[in-house]
Structure 1
Amino acid sequence: MRPAAALAVLMLSSACASDSSTASEQGGTSEAGTSETGTSGGEPTGGDDPEDLTCKGGPWERGKPIAMPELPAGDPAAGYTALLTEDYVSCGIPWDLFGFAEGVLGVEEPLPGRAGKNAEVGHAWNVVSLSDGSELVVSNCLQCHAGYFNGELIVGLGKASADFTTSLSEFAEPLPDLPETSEANASFNKFKARAAALGPYSTMMTIGANPAVMFAIVLLSHRDPVTLAWSDEPLYPLSTELVIPADPPPWWRVGKKASNFANGMSRRDHRGTMVLASSLCTDSVDEAGPVVDYFADIQAYLASIEAPSYPFAIDEALAADGAEIFECNCAGCHGTYAVDDAAESFPNLLIPLDVIGTDPSFATLSAEGGFYHHLREWFNESFYGMFSEVVTDDPTPGYTAPPLDGVWATAPYFHNGSVPSIALVLDSAARPTTWRRLDYDSTNFDEAALGWPWEPATAWADAPASERKFIYDTSLFGYGNGGHTFGDHLDDGERRALLEYLKTL
């Protein structure tokens, strides 16, 4: 990753790296390296007896429902405009220098319909005017939530190829400060200092792993909860050994979900957790208040997004067979689907860790007694806790079962992106311990397995340093691919039918 690329991603705490600092989603090529046959990710660590996974019952019977919150009214159209014009990150790159930065970052695809200088920058950037007339280019949410599928840029699709495998501090600290002759220059200096603070605790092990959770934890650990004032020294303990990877979910699930984050911790009005996630340089209540106000519109826009339609052929007869399998084995957790949205249902269940069995790091570290449990205390006592709430272990630590609209487009799978295809989600014994994508070309899609084509890889620690970032090693902390064994009892024909049905969602 090049210096400007590394810094650019920091302008949004939940953002992903820009396309040129990642493997291209549109037409990248694979990196050659030594590989070996992948093995199973280990014995299943959770879940009910497969014999019980019929219409008579299943893991949903032990799920804990999360109530849908009452959200403030918002205007989706105004929210879309705010998303692509406002400065909710509060620091960035001066406009006068952005041409140079873009030369390093690569020119992103623009988003149609934008006006003025926003029409001149890529889809993941906003150009804002500051009070002294200087102009600043800041990241927007599309840094993380606009990805490519089948060569098409899709707003709301999580970006699965961001490269956070080098510490951001390595790039931020050597860069000189700009003379503070303008608000834009001062903003850049602040941004650079925040990069240095985030870097040690946000380094991922593989391309595609997202440090959004760690960014939020680091940012709140440096802030007073009441005033939001920044402290150069962290106020809570941080660890370079306990770095949690995440996988950005698609926005089109927002309208159905009672809680955000994989562990279901965002409750009530979600504006608080959303604004916190973009608070790289928002250091006072006076700054945060107006952002919270217009995030009511952004929240409404997110809830209005619908999943794209599967772009390839579907075997309708096989899909119909799969619908019956889905009803008995999956709908209890993941809901029901219909042409008429009003006929659909979604249970919003938090599944306990001993049932779901997926990598426990995020859920346990944020729960009572966990190393990062202070995030709950900080948030609920903070300005953001006035209207939002963080709940990490009530009634139990676990993970939420998500809606599956457009699930075929959202590889890799699980909350940490540890499984490259849905076929492997349904067959835990076939999951590789170490794997790598064949390439980062979004037109190279496995229609049978519903996911990215992959190949076995050598262990991360045994690979050359230049190859490690392309390897997903499920033996690493936070990257485990066990659990969710609920498809193991299906035979190959049933899995094929179920996969065909999922294409219709």
Structure 2
Amino acid sequence: MRPVAVLTLLSLASACANTPSAATEQGSASDTSTGSSGSLTESSSGSPTEATSTGDDGEPLCHGGPWERGQPIAAPELPSGDPAAGYTALLTRDYVSCGIPWDLFGFAEGVLGVEEPLPGRAGKNAEVGHAWNVVTLADDSELVVSNCLQCHAGYFNGELIVGLGKASADFTTSLSEFAEPLPDLPETSLANAAFNKFKARAAALGPYSTMMTVGANPAVMFAIILLSHRDPVTLAWSDEPLYELSAELVLPADPPPWWRVGKKTSNFANGMSRGDHRGTMVLASSLCTDSVEEAGPVVDYFADIQAYLASLEAPTYPFAIDEALAADGAQVFECNCAGCHGTYAKDPAAESFPNLLIPLDLIGTDPSFATQAAAGGFYHHLREWFNASFYGMFSEVVTDDPTPGYTAPPLDGIWATAPYFHNGSVPTIALVLDSAARPGAWRRLDYDSTNFDQAALGWPWQPAPAHAEAPASERKFIYDTTLFGYGNRGHTFGDHLDDAERQALLEYLKTL
């Protein structure tokens, strides 16, 4: 845990944070799938408005669910890209174009913490942590810049997994507290000048991106802050924000795993990134990208990064699975979950995923992100700014068409992605399936990724006092669901299941 650590650099975390983009749609809402209890059928309109399973006698075993009101998000046309080139660009390029001079990075690591290097990298990139890239500037000075793995390389069972959201990242101290006391460097090199810009931008982000608990991610806030300081057409930076920002309405996010990208047709929990997602991805990494001339080449090679993300597959569950119980759980899943979350098979071609936006009043999870981004919300300017901007030439932001809501994600590798919901408010899948058992405030027992609850599928936790009642030194470890944006209600679709059905369903989810 490095409270200070992930902050100074984090500006970029949003870079790829929530980079969900769609390569191709793996099936459609009208696809049918066969399970052990029968088959899911489509409505006469071909949309996922009804899911009914039939037994051997032809009698219905399953009935409709929330998918009846889900709104499919169409698959976009994406530029072709080279996944191998995308991986290289992700880990070598300077899409976050400011950072820490190489000559000072050793000192910075002493403050921020030394991260595990990523195997296979060459040169000085092999000497830095996995979340940093070393680049050479035009004057031959060297700069260490953040990369997307700040938020999208997490640990599970002691293994660093590229593409897994970093559930232990600490953004609970304002970036301003670290940036503002640092002196400017003499601008005798491009690297020194890039550091001065990095420091100033971190200070601008700080007041509006501080999280309340370890693990909560400010990716959404970074994007909102960065566009609020920029002219949409020229991308020129303004030291004073052009739109009002709030230190009270700070939205937390939970970084999604990259291996969902190949199935998803939209980006962000509220499905607001539509079309070619390079625009939203590059905006998120635009901490110091202050002109169209700088942004254009980044958008170009992000076609390769987008292709790399779409090529990733979920890891395999590393522990034992009760196959008979999992087979029972497959039937529970088919009736209760597949309509929103898709179908799964050994052959990916046999899978389907409907890409549904579920209306806010139906899903019932914390409404803050969806409502603040939608028409009438405090952050609705992000839609207006983006669609009128250079980035809007590639992507489109849609926040309330046809309705504010949240997208139902694919569940590949879901067991590895605790905590759950778009704000990370629920520590285990068992609690996702039983809303009455969710705690009002909780904390992880520790941040050891080998300490995993195989029965509940998530991180071991314990009840905790509310933030206001806890010592100041303990608050950042407590997830208080009464705070703005941190609610854990909603998604009550598993409440009707009995204990045996939930146990079987949890076992089935280990197979995904």
Question: Paired residue for 1:142, among 143, 149, 156?
Answer: 149
How has the CA–CA distance of structure 1 residues 190 and 54 changed in structure 2, closer, same or farther, with 3 Å as cutoff? farther
Q: Could you tell me how far apart the structure 1 residues matched to 2:367 and 2:130 are?
A: 35
AA aligned to 1:222 is: H
Q: Could you tell me how far apart the structure 1 residues matched to 2:16 and 2:262 are?
A: 21
How has the CA–CA distance of structure 1 residues 175 and 222 changed in structure 2, closer, same or farther, with 3 Å as cutoff? same
Hey, what does 1:424 align to over in structure 2?
A: 431
1:77 and 2:78 are equivalent in the alignment: no
1:104 Cα deviation from its structure 2 partner: 2.0
Hey, what does 1:68 align to over in structure 2?
A: 75
Q: Could you tell me how far apart the structure 1 residues matched to 2:420 and 2:281 are?
A: 22
Contact 1:128 1:138 in 2 (8 A): yes
Instruction: Give the stretch that moved more between structures: 109-118 or 265-274.
Output: 109-118
AA aligned to 1:6 is: L
Mapping for residues 154-173 of structure 1, pairs under 5 Å: 154-173=161-180
Contact 1:90 1:187 in 2 (8 A): yes
Hey, what does 2:182 align to over in structure 1?
A: 175
Hey, what does 1:133 align to over in structure 2?
A: 140
Hey, what does 1:273 align to over in structure 2?
A: 280
Hey, what does 1:246 align to over in structure 2?
A: 253
AA aligned to 2:14 is: S
How many residues align? The count is 471
Q: Could you tell me how far apart the structure 2 residues matched to 1:397 and 1:452 are?
A: 30
Contact 1:11 1:191 in 2 (8 A): no
1:151 Cα deviation from its structure 2 partner: 0.1
Mapping for residues 3-402 of structure 1, pairs under 5 Å: 6-14=7-15, 55-402=62-409
Q: Could you tell me how far apart the structure 2 residues matched to 1:145 and 1:71 are?
A: 22
1:8 Cα deviation from its structure 2 partner: 2.2
Question: Paired residue for 1:490, among 471, 493, 497?
Answer: 497
Contact 1:124 1:140 in 2 (8 A): yes
AA aligned to 2:8 is: L
Q: Could you tell me how far apart the structure 1 residues matched to 2:70 and 2:420 are?
A: 20
How has the CA–CA distance of structure 1 residues 2 and 313 changed in structure 2, closer, same or farther, with 3 Å as cutoff? closer
SS in 2 for 1:237: coil
Calculate the aligned-residue CA RMSD, in Å: 1.5
SS in 2 for 1:84: helix
SS in 1 for 2:133: strand
Hey, what does 1:33 align to over in structure 2?
A: none
Deviation track 1:477-504 (CA, whole Å, cap 9, x = no partner) reads 0000000000000000000000000000
Hey, what does 1:407 align to over in structure 2?
A: 414
Hey, what does 2:462 align to over in structure 1?
A: 455
SS in 2 for 1:325: helix
Deviation track 1:312-349 (CA, whole Å, cap 9, x = no partner) reads 00000000000000000000000000000000000000
Q: Could you tell me how far apart the structure 2 residues matched to 1:150 and 1:5 are?
A: 21
- Aligned-residue identity in percent: 87
Hey, what does 2:476 align to over in structure 1?
A: 469
Higher relative contact order (CA 8 A, sep 6+): 1
Hey, what does 2:29 align to over in structure 1?
A: none
Q: Could you tell me how far apart the structure 2 residues matched to 1:87 and 1:152 are?
A: 26
Contact 1:5 1:104 in 2 (8 A): no
Q: Could you tell me how far apart the structure 1 residues matched to 2:15 and 2:319 are?
A: 31
Contact 2:173 2:210 in 1 (8 A): yes
1:9 Cα deviation from its structure 2 partner: 2.1
Contact 2:3 2:173 in 1 (8 A): no
Hey, what does 2:42 align to over in structure 1?
A: none
AA aligned to 1:128 is: V
User: Structure 2 length as normaliser, TM-score?
Assistant: 0.90
Q: Could you tell me how far apart the structure 1 residues matched to 2:248 and 2:227 are?
A: 19
Q: Could you tell me how far apart the structure 2 residues matched to 1:417 and 1:117 are?
A: 35
1:10 Cα deviation from its structure 2 partner: 2.4
AA aligned to 2:237 is: W
Q: Could you tell me how far apart the structure 1 residues matched to 2:169 and 2:4 are?
A: 15
Hey, what does 1:38 align to over in structure 2?
A: none
Contact 1:245 1:479 in 2 (8 A): yes
Q: Could you tell me how far apart the structure 2 residues matched to 1:15 and 1:423 are?
A: 29
1:12 Cα deviation from its structure 2 partner: 3.8
1:474 Cα deviation from its structure 2 partner: 0.3
Deviation track 1:264-304 (CA, whole Å, cap 9, x = no partner) reads 00000000000001000000000000000000000000000
1:5 Cα deviation from its structure 2 partner: 5.0
SS in 1 for 2:505: helix
User: Structure 1 length as normaliser, TM-score?
Assistant: 0.92
1:6 Cα deviation from its structure 2 partner: 3.0
1:15 Cα deviation from its structure 2 partner: 7.1
SS in 1 for 2:11: helix
Hey, what does 1:34 align to over in structure 2?
A: none
Q: Could you tell me how far apart the structure 2 residues matched to 1:328 and 1:424 are?
A: 19
Contact 2:83 2:311 in 1 (8 A): yes
Q: Could you tell me how far apart the structure 2 residues matched to 1:422 and 1:102 are?
A: 35
AA aligned to 2:136 is: S
Contact 2:418 2:459 in 1 (8 A): yes
Contact 2:13 2:219 in 1 (8 A): no
Q: Could you tell me how far apart the structure 2 residues matched to 1:3 and 1:148 are?
A: 19
Q: Could you tell me how far apart the structure 1 residues matched to 2:416 and 2:4 are?
A: 31
How has the CA–CA distance of structure 1 residues 223 and 54 changed in structure 2, closer, same or farther, with 3 Å as cutoff? farther
Contact 1:14 1:213 in 2 (8 A): no
Hey, what does 2:25 align to over in structure 1?
A: none
Q: Which runs of 5+ in 2 are unaligned?
A: 18-52, 54-59
